[in-house]
Homo-oligomer: A and B are copies of this chain.
Amino acid sequence: MIKVGIVGAGGYAGVTLIQLLLRHPEVQIVWLMSEEAHRGKKISELYPHLSGELELACQTLDELEKIVNQVELVFLALPHGIAINYVPKIIEAGKKVIDLGADYRFSDNMVFKKWYGLEHTTEKYLQQAVFGLPELYRAEIKKTRLVANPGCYPTASILGAAPLVKKGLIGLPSLLVDAKSGVSGAGRGANLKTIYCERNEGIEAYAVNNHRHMGEIEFQLSRVAGQPFNVTFVPHLTPMTRGILATIYGKLKKPVSAEQLTALYKEFYQGEPFVKILEGRTPNTKFVDGTNYINIAVEVNETTGTVIVMSVIDNLIKGAAGQAVQNMNLMSGLPETSGLRQIALYP
């Protein structure tokens, strides 16, 4: 049994981690941390459905140093800029970290500063961090002590675009990502933007051209492409709780059919336990609800020479907690799919 601690347990990524890990055959949750207002509260006070499942009370980050030794691995699900202060301590205590926040997703401090307005004081760890997308960096993940778990939009976008970008099939800078997200991506914090009556029965774009995940997508696709790579990224808040659909567009350098591209995607992701390439139908976010799967389909508009990739994930699972568990499995020598074999809860 691997003993783990969860920091940020009170948020939606945190509770999803708990839900997954409570049924993971090889993991024991030893402690939970949440914000000051939750100090001493049982997690089942915050989430009544956990009553009888996990009776831990929430601690706070000031206790980290005291209790970090009780675990082998720490999950951090924090707003950006906070993990920076704690990751070094955890690593130096000889533990592993999976950071679900943004602090270690850019190996280039300047890019991090551009998008997040913060300076990395401990650049050493920035260099050590592995971007936790197993489909692209499995070998590195297995060997690292520090994983920067990808954001939800980047997971759907990068995995959806990677085969095209890697093979150099699309022109620069033609890549467009029109992404549709459920409201849970905004977290559990109460604000006018997330209340039911403002979101229900309405869809809107937001953070056009300046969503921080755009920086993450560009940075990571530049690595895949081997050259600087800009994208146009427009996220949309969609009236549903879970799920992301990224509809990705690119101009093909030369004519390729949808069938050829589908074959290419199948080959690219061959053997991947959580990637399904659909044929003859478009993916619906419902197909992956509650699962760690990503479903992808590819179409081509031959008249305009445009490739259209549709990529769906559950934003809280493959886009956050599920991928974190997948990374934990890899870092810990467990079967990659351990604890992650859920089938969608359909309908």
Contacts and interface: CB of A to CB of B under 8 A. Distances in A.
A196 B308 CA distance: 27
A1 interface: no
A183 interface: yes
A218 to B, nearest CB: 9
A310 interface: yes
Contacts of A173: 303-305
Contact of A195 (B176, B188, B286, B289): B188
A310 B218 CA distance: 23
A16 to B, nearest CB: 8
Contacts of A51: 276, 278
B232 A304 contact: yes
B247 A178 contact: yes
A69 to B, nearest CB: 28
A52 B343 CA distance: 11
Given A190-B195, A345-B290, A239 B236 contact: no
A52 B197 contact: no
Contacts of A204: 245, 282-286, 310, 312
A299 B180 contact: no
Interface stretch (A42-50, A56-64, A114-122, A324-332): A42-50
A259 to B, nearest CB: 14
Given A49-B346, A194-B190, A249-B232, A202 B243 contact: yes
A12 B197 contact: yes
Contacts of A225: none
Interface stretch (A89-97, A142-150, A160-168, A205-213): A205-213
Contacts of A195: 183, 188, 190, 194-196
Contacts of A234: 247, 308
A238 interface: yes
A286 B51 CA distance: 14
A5 B227 CA distance: 55
Interface of A: 12, 15, 19, 22-23, 47-53, 173-174, 176, 178, 180, 182-184, 188, 190-192, 194-206, 208-209, 230-232, 234, 236, 238-243, 245, 247, 249, 251, 276, 278, 281-290, 299-301, 303-306, 308, 310, 312, 341-347
